[in-house]
Amino acid sequence: MSVAENLRRVTGLRSVGRWRRAARLPRVRRRVDLSHPARSPLGSAVVNCVRYRGGVRQAGATGSRGQELLEAEVAKARESGDGFVWVGLHEPTEEQFAGIARLFDLHPLAVEDAVHAHQRPKVDRYGTTLFAVFKTVCYVEHTRLTATSEVVDTGELMVFVGREFVITVRHGRHGSLGPLREELEAAPHRLAKGPIAVLHAVADQVVDEYLQVTDAFQNDLDQIESEVFAEDGARVDPGRVYQLKRELLELKRAVVPLSGPLQVLSDQPSPTPDTDIRAYFRDVADHVLRAGEQIGAYDDLLNSILQAHLAQVTVAQNSDMRKITAWAAIIAVPTMVCGVYGMNFAHMPELGSPYGYPAVLTVIAVACFLVHRGFRRNGWL
């Protein structure tokens, strides 16, 4: 039974496509990394700074640069009362993030987590501000799995959500939010729900990447499974199986801990008036649980494959030992006869007969043939 069939039996799911059904907002796909200096008016760490009102992107303040642009956009959002500012950053330093933290009155603990990264997926509430941490994942393409292959590349994405702002901080080489921003701008009714809709879109994209990576893992599992259960499966390098388990563990650390934070977002009140968004968070949380179940099934299958490989190695070693023992027993026959006739006694059978030498050789050959035949019939040779 293949890995895919085992997964269908364990999880009851036919395909990843069934995980992406109705009750979700439109899908968002990554296209290109938009963190270009031309789109970073506040510095190299800032991807973009845009103000939205009624779900529509507003023109920026002309003649403003850097912190002035950000403060001007925030002032307009607060003045209108129905808009918000989306600030995107990529791996900012403490100095680059300090001005933004003061402007939006962000909690020092959340700021520290956002700057230094290496955080566990979580959702914290600081007054009227939500701080969410997501682990982003990316499948690393490779022609053949080796004992040192990198299968999963991880990063981090932090999101600050307030009444009139969204701040996204990205760490890692992938997970650009530029395509997500453009996708949301093409659907103003989604942005009209406020900053919490951006948080949902980010969570939705991150979970979609989880599903894509877990689905891609199946190719490596199928490859390992077919090689282990092949005729020469005992020769498969077990390091490849361990490497796949290590990469799966890295994926598990990104996916499984996110279930709790998403449950919090779907149950507790949000910092924005719109409460309908909770249903969408519940849907995302359900998909995270399904991804976790699939990862658990993968882990169980890898354990089974590893145990089967070790059993094959043991069987192969036992077979080799039986063959060695059988040939040693066959060789012992002529060794014993030659040892007896090599003791140089004066009175030995057939020493004086011209047929003695060929007779002894015949006895040795017949005895070896009978012993060899007995081992063959017992499956030792």
Distance CA 363, CA 64 (A): 107
Identify the weakest region by mean pLDDT among 2-6, 249-253, 289-293, 330-334: 2-6
Kindly state whether residues 43 and 104 are assigned to the same domain.
yes
Q: Which of 312, 330, 354 is the last residue of a domain?
A: 312
Kindly state whether residues 282 and 339 are assigned to the same domain.
no
Kindly state whether residues 105 and 55 are assigned to the same domain.
yes
Identify the weakest region by mean pLDDT among 56-65, 91-100, 187-196: 56-65
Query: pLDDT tens for residues 17-40?
Result: 333 333 333 333 333 333 333 344
Which amino acid, residue 329? A
- Beta pairing partners, 171: 156
> Residue 350 corresponds to which tokens in the numbers above?
């057939």
Kindly state whether residues 136 and 26 are assigned to the same domain.
yes
Q: What letter does residue 256 receive in the DSSP assignment?
A: G
For the four alpha carbons of 65, 31, 158 and 247, in that order, the dihedral sign comes to negative
Kindly state whether residues 328 and 302 are assigned to the same domain.
no
CATH number at residue 186: 3.30.460.20
CATH number at residue 371: 1.20.58
Query: pLDDT tens for residues 150-166?
Result: 888 899 999 999 988 99
Q: Which of 291, 312, 333 is the last residue of a domain?
A: 312
In a 3-state reduction of DSSP, which class is residue 87? strand
Kindly state whether residues 105 and 227 are assigned to the same domain.
yes
In a 3-state reduction of DSSP, which class is residue 13? coil
Kindly state whether residues 7 and 46 are assigned to the same domain.
yes
What is the DSSP secondary-structure string of 154-182?
Answer: EEEEEEEE-SSEEEEEEESSS--SHHHHH
Enclosing domain of residue 194:
3-312
- Beta pairing partners, 124: 131
Kindly state whether residues 244 and 326 are assigned to the same domain.
no
Kindly state whether residues 266 and 365 are assigned to the same domain.
no
How many domains are there within the chain? Answer: 2
Kindly state whether residues 260 and 342 are assigned to the same domain.
no
Task: Name which residue leads in pLDDT, 20 or 198.
Answer: 198
Looking at the predicted structure, is the pLDDT value of residue 318 above 70? Answer: yes
